[in-house]
Structure 1
Amino acid sequence: MENYFNIRYEFDKRAVLQAIDEALLLGKPGYICVSDGVILSTVNRDPDYRQVVDGAMFSICDSGYVPLYLRWIYGIERHQYCGSEIFMDIVHMKRYKMAFLGTTQATLNGLQNNLSEIDPRIANMWFYSLPYKRVEEFDYPAIAEMLEKDGSEIIWIALGAPKQEIFMSKLKPYLKRGVMIAVGAAFKFYSGTDVNRAPYWMVRAHLEFLHRIYCEPKKQIGRCSMIVYSLPKLLYQEWNRKRKRKKLAGKTE
């Protein structure tokens, strides 16, 4: 794992999957944050939320821009591993008992139908539309009990950042096992009933945010404005961390 912008990232896909298997083998509940620009910005503005993200097993890099920033600042190559990718990677593995929590019942129904074509077992897995309420108001012991009875190993959460990360941190103490992964819009992408992901060329060109703004202008413009506003400070702080690391390395040589 590597720490940049006050987030502990795991960029190695094999290490991510290995950590999931180890947690399940040891029976240790945990959660993984899929860190996009919203999480990056919020972590560096809200100390309480930073503790939530720090409490995760690690974060994977959902942002296509963080690898660019790391190349500019440190001259290193790192790669994006977004929520929709890890979601489909694990679905295609056909190994785990999964639960899908969040979003609307219509979206969940579409998701269940589509994913069942990949792995027929998914037709009998648990799809639960969480009620619309404040994150403090959920009955976490009851949700954990249902997950325990279901035998869920991978628990997908789709409530949108930053709510879904707080939800996972509050549910974790009541779980006996299982790895939660917050995948935001992935349920919508693969349900066939809601927002589609941007075309591949837009993803490669780091223009996916334009597609998201087009699909959900009211929601995404506010989010993008917050990210752009906080970005200069974040870059400046990371440049300073780089200088401090160089000075420290020079003293120890």
Structure 2
Amino acid sequence: MTRYDEAVDTVLAAARQRRPFAVTALAVHGVMTGVLDREHGARLNSFDLVTPDGQPVRWALNVLHGAALTDPVCGPNLALDLLGAAADEGISVYLYGSTEQTLDRLVLNLQNQLPMLKIAGREASKFRTARPGEGEEIAARIRASGARIVLVGLGCPRQEVFVHAMRPLLPMPLLAVGAAFDFHAGNLRRPPVWMRKRGLEWLWRLALEPRRLWRRYLLLNPHYLLLLAAQWARLRPVPPMPPTTDRPTEFPV
């Protein structure tokens, strides 16, 4: 059980208390990264809050676990709701990821939509692996900015690896928000509501970016449905996850 308001309240509480808190919103692709890579699955299980990003994950939680979720909690919507609440409370945020051009558009749109929002800092992705000690340097810049919430837009699963690595270094919530930066910057269009309600957001994304996303959706989606059916029929027991790993020595920045 998680709704948007519950997730926002939980993150804000961690920000007020200045304590580490790792959040991600997982769609089918994100779930399957944890299924196919058990080490990454253990990493995801160590997060403080994981929300269902899209109808297929919500349906699975309801069918397999009786979660009684009435709506998904999607990364782009959660990010905007959280930023609005942070603006109301005067809690400053830090934006990490994507490109400088996207961040320029994102900041402009957020300032127009949420004029009271305090953006303490921003940092584009380097699109490479962190060098030794770089995580501590990034954490020092974020702390020095005065931010109390960090939004991370590096794409799945890079953003979850980054959040997991940075969580021990920062006394504040870190949220992996997927394509939220691109959506709110205006780089990508959200599908119509009727498609989202019917679990067809993947089809919309595939139509927009077929070359980049065809493997993700045309291979992983059927695999997800097969595993879901097997688990529902009790044909595939859920194996225990290995213990969560320590902060990785290599992670994306």
Normalised by the length of structure 2, the TM-score is: 0.83
Q: How does 1:72-151 map to 2 (within 5 A)?
A: 72-73=63-64, 77-78=68-69, 79-93=71-85, 94=87, 95=89, 96-122=91-117, 124-134=119-129, 139-151=134-146
When residues 54 and 233 of structure 1 are mapped into structure 2, their CA distance, relative to the original with a 3 A threshold, is: same
- Decide which structure has greater helix share: 1
TM-aligned CA deviation for residue 71 of structure 1: 4.3
| Residue type at the aligned position of 2:81 | D
Aligned length: 233
Q: Distance in 1 between the 2:115 and 2:31 partners?
A: 36
Structure 1 regions of 5+ residues with no counterpart?
1-9, 245-253
The alignment status of 1:54 with 2:49, answered yes or no, reads no
> For each residue in 1:99-148, what CA deviation from the matched residue of structure 2 results, as whole angstroms up to 9, or x when unmatched?
11111111110000000012224475312112110367781101100110
Gaps of 5+ in 2: 239-253
Cα 1:50–1:137 change in 2 (3 A) is farther
Match of 1:191 among 185, 194, 206: 185
Q: Aligned to 2:25, what secondary structure does the other structure show?
A: strand
Counterpart AA for 1:179: P
Q: Which amino acid aligns with 2:152?
A: I
Name the aligned partner's letter for residue 231 of structure 1: L
2:158 equivalent to 1:203: no
Task: Give distance in 1, aligned partners of 2:183 and 2:147.
Answer: 22
SS in 1 for 2:229: helix
- What are the Cα deviations for residues 146-202 of structure 1, in whole angstroms up to 9, with x where unaligned? 110111111110111111000111111221x1101111111111112x111112221
Question: Could you state the TM-score of these two structures normalised by the residue count of structure 1?
Answer: 0.83
Structure 1 residue 74, shift from structure 2 partner? 5.7
- Contact 2:54–2:196 (CA<8 Å) still a contact in 1? no
Corresponding residue to 2:54 among 46, 56, 63: 63
CA distance in 1, matches of 2:44, 2:65: 23
Check 1:238–1:150 CA distance in 2 against 1; reply closer, same or farther (3 A cut): farther
> Contact 2:106/2:184 (CA < 8 Å) preserved in 1?
yes
Residue 6 (structure 2) aligns with:
15
Using CA pairs under 8 Å that are at least 6 residues apart, name the structure with larger relative contact order, 1 or 2. 2
1:77 positional shift: 2.9
Query: How high is the sequence identity, in percent, across the aligned residues?
Result: 23
Structure 1 window deviating more from structure 2 (214-223 vs 162-171): it is 214-223
Q: Report the residue type matching 2:107 in the other structure.
A: Q
| Distance change >3 Å, CA 170–CA 209, structure 1 → 2 | same
Q: Cα RMSD between the aligned structures?
A: 2.4
